Amino acid sequence: MYRILTEDINRTTVTTILDKYLDGYTLVKARGVWKGKAEDSL
């Protein structure tokens, strides 16, 4: 199992790449904070 943690931008590009190379995957929407700045994560 692999985990890829990334900011939630370019979701369409990310899912296109995952569809091309993986048989299955799960996207989990999250919210992260770094040095007081919040951002959506994927």
pTM reported for the whole predicted model: 0.67
Cα–Cα distance, 24 to 12 (Å, whole number): 16
Per-residue pLDDT in tens (0 to 9) along the chain, 42 residues: 888 888 888 899 999 999 999 999 999 988 889 899 998 888
Nearest to 1 by CA among 26, 20, 19: 26
Looking at the structure of the chain, the number of domains it has is 1
Task: Indicate whether 35 belongs to any domain.
Answer: yes
Task: Indicate whether 4 belongs to any domain.
Answer: no
Task: Indicate whether 5 belongs to any domain.
Answer: no
Segments forming the whole domain that contains residue 34? 11-41
Contact 30, 42 (CB under 8 A): yes
Task: Indicate whether 29 belongs to any domain.
Answer: yes
Task: Indicate whether 6 belongs to any domain.
Answer: no
